[in-house]
Amino acid sequence: MREKFRLYTDKVINKIGCDRKTAKKIREDLIDTLMMKWDETGEEDPYILMGEVDDIAEEFRENLQLEYKNSYSKNNYNGRRGYYEYKSELKIAGLPLVHVVNGLGVARGIVAIGPVAVGIIALGGLSLGVISLGALALGLLFSLGAISASTLISVGGISMAYYLSLGGISIAKHFAIGGVAVGNVAIGGAAKGIVAVYKERGSGQFVYPHYHKNIGEIMDKIKSLYPNINSIVSKIIESLIKIL
């Protein structure tokens, strides 16, 4: 019975997202309430005694927001150590326009900012979005992070993309640019690709050292591989070859 209560309480706290001190207090309050209700009814199922985890977590979040707002108005709010959450009232397709979480928890919104952020535009330690920025960033169209991955454009220390990747270690299906670059078109210190432009070493079908004088020849080879290459991407690649 106690194990059921503990597991239930842990699920509620994980949903809330808060600092350790607050989590400890919530855990004690929940366990005490569950034990009291069990003593009164004899019922051991915490879901029957209290309700669904999401509903209880939402009640606690609302209470915590009110407490911190009151604390802030009295100049007692500690933004570094405390937990704070902002969720805009305006929603689009069921998601808040802006959701900000400072503390343990997941931010979900059109614009999401938090330690874990999920949204159209996501900023966080771990971020997942159409446009994603974070230490670990996964983006549909664009990502920027220490470790970054995207279907379109990715920029990062370790960068992976389907179309265009730029990074210390850069891997892409089509265009890879970086210290170590692997892709159909690879440009970097060490480059491996069908067309490879390298500074230190390179391998592939068409390999050019960085001091190759005829950049036009390299670009012609790239355009033969990608006849419909976007003009902006073409100019970016040409400029990077020149400064390699």
Q: Which residue has the higher pLDDT, 76 or 104?
A: 104
Enter the pTM of the model: 0.62
pLDDT in tens, 189-204: 999 999 999 999 999 9
Read off the pLDDT band of 75 (50, 70, 90).
Answer: very low
List, as one string, the DSSP characters of 87-138: E-S-EETTEESEEEEESSSEEEEEEEEEEEEEEEEEEEEEEEEEEEEEEEEE
> How far lies 175's CA from each of 133, 159, 162, 201, 217, in Å?
21, 12, 8, 17, 17
Q: What was the pLDDT predicted at 61?
A: 76
Instruction: Give the contacts of 118 (CB within 8 A, at least 6 positions apart).
Output: 106, 107, 108, 112, 127, 128, 129
Average pLDDT rounded to a whole number, residues 8-24: 81
Lookup result for tokens 């209700």? 37
- Residue 93 confidence (pLDDT) above 70: yes
